Structure formats: C-alpha cells, structure tokens
Structure 1
C-alpha cells in the first residue's frame, strides 16, 4: 500500500472557517461578488460596521419561509476586513475540528495546543487502512527520530503548533510520515465546512488541498482526548502539561 497518509506527494492541506463581523474601514463597493450589483450604502447604520445593505425589488410579504446560508467572510481585493486585529482574525478563523483529507483515506483532528492554547496541532484520528497486508499497524518507520519509529501512524501528531498570521491563517510545519520530512504549511477555513491547506517544498513549489469537516464517527476512529487511552498522542514538546496542584495550607 502507498504509505502517504495525509500528505500526498508534497503535503497535507487544511481549511479555516471564517465567521467574523465587518470591519470598520471606510465603505467601498464590494467587488468579486455576484450580488454586488444589488448592494446600496446602508444609511441607517451609524456604527460603520455594516456599510452596505441589499437593495432589491422584493416584496417580502409574499414569503413565509426563508433559508439562511452559512456566513463566509468576504476576502475580495478591496480588503474590507483589513483593519481587524490579529486576535479577532485568529478567533474568527479557528480551524479546530475533525477533517477528512482530500483523498478520503485519513481524518485529521485539529485542536488548540501550546501553553497559551494559541497554536494549532493536528493528529491522525482515523485511517481507511490502518494495517498492512499482515494485519500489522502501519508505523512511523521513516521518522528521523529513532525513538518514534515504532509508534503507530494512527494517532500520531503531524501538524506542529501552527501560529496565527495577520491574514487570518495558521502557518508552521507539517510532518509527512511517507518520507519522514517536515514541510512548510498554511491552512485556513474557506467556508464553514471546508478547509484549505497549502504545503510548500520551496516558496515556488506548493500544492493546495481541500479538506471536508466531519461530524460523524467511523469505526476505528479515535475519539478520546489527546493523551487518553482512546485518543491521539502528542509529541512530547506539545504534550499538555497538567497544572500543578495547589499546596494545601496547614492551619496553625
């Protein structure tokens, strides 16, 4: 079996959901939107956060039902959301969740990690084929660290503490068990249930994949907390260190 688990050829790729409010920049016409022709300045908004509204010749009294689609933050070239703080961008684009990779063979769980819980780590929590022809679990045999070569691929950490960027993405390193190497990667939520992940060998040699968010649980999927018996295992540098227990004060 081809041992590429989450990175195909060059790397694994992921997506971050953008669900933020409008920024308070001076209103300009939304470009790159099919519906922009139906938008007009919102004179009733004094906050500056909703600069435009839809202006269509619709008699809403003729309707008794509406359908609300998931919100996706507009990312056109006119840069409507350019003055959002880094903290707000990181919050609005949090990619935490379980994702099915593009080839459908692996599920990756992304979650907050690091001492301040401001990084993103990722773990393989399900594999379509977790064992070889002999029924033995696939192991991380190409890892440059000899101590990790016996660990099973199912449950291992492959995304290493990605950091939020000013663009609302997360960037850092991803480990490819196929060749035992790490690659530069960035990921962002393209829509509420789709994640984009862009991996690069060098700056001009990059590949992008789309991951689909999953909410169900498949047979063999790890569902426990990271570090628990039925959960994935963090590399030691990313393992959560329990807070020290307070020392009881003895009364006099």
Structure 2
C-alpha cells in the first residue's frame, strides 16, 4: 500500500508529465497583421520562440533613428488571449510599449516622424497566458514540479502553469515603407524563475522584457 505522503506527489507528477505534452498556446501567422502573407515557417534554431518570420536584406548599421508605433492589441478572431480581461490586455500593451521603447533607446535615437535612416517598428500584442494562481507558485516548491521545471529550464521551455506573451513585430524602412523584417514570437520566463511566478501577469511581463532584448540584439 502506498504511503499517504507519496500519493499527492504521484498525483502532481502525473499532472506535470501531462503538461509536458501540452506546452500551451503556440503563436500563429495571425491573419490580421499586415505581414501575415509574407511570414514563413522558421527553420532556424530559435523556431521554438519565433515560429514564423520574414527577413529582407537590410544593413541595420545605416539606421540611427527609430519610430515606434503605439502597441496594438490584436482583435482578430485568431487572437490568443483566451478569457483574459480587456484591462489586463491593455496593461500588457502599455508595458510592452514602454519596455520596447526603453530597450531600443540604447541603440537608436527616438524619432517623432518618418525620415531617412529611420526605422518604423509596429508591435502587436496577439496573445497572453496568465500564471495559474497558486498552482504556478506551488510547482516551484513541489518536488515533481521542480523536476519538470528543471528539465524545461535546460530545454528553454515554458514552466508548469507559467504565463507567457505572444506578439508580432514588423520593421519597416520609414522612408520608403519597405518591410525589412517581421516575425511572431512567444516569450516567457526561465522555467526556474521563482520571482516571475508571483503575480498573474508577472510571467508575461518578463516575457516582454526578454522579447525587447531579443529585438535589439537582432538590429546590430
């Protein structure tokens, strides 16, 4: 007969193992964004975070200024917000606009209007998942949950019951309107990030932070 203390652990282990087969929502080539028809399946190593992308030849070094459009909250029927409230979507969009602008300011001068040597960046928040209340935090203290999150951390995967954010980035030459780069991405905290597990939107905001860093790194 199983020890009564082992039963909850086994139940949790089964639940976590089930999660491994269901990694949550996966971003789409959202039909309502301008670059949707140009997006292609990403075959590179970063496909897990950026499943679709489009890239045209571009000399990023010639661009010294950036114009960042206000973040759009995607309203298409293929959005991936689930039951997330409108005010939470707005909060994430505001945070995204602030963080991406801050990170881009380390590489570019801010522009107020289109012009030569100026990029225009359109950001569209297309989906988000909240961290499941209590369960997401519990998984960091439970043995089976920690084992699962540890494996996910090594794989670069999403933590158990952790939140995430999905979005589209479209980068144009503001002078001639040419699309230079576009992609959709899903970002989330490292699976062992305990701090990001507290607060229903904390994981999504951490994902936004990571997404902003990833964008700037591509423009050098």
Q: TM-score, normalised by structure 2?
A: 0.30
Structure with greater helix percent: 2
Q: Which has the larger radius of gyration?
A: 1
Q: TM-score, normalised by structure 1?
A: 0.27
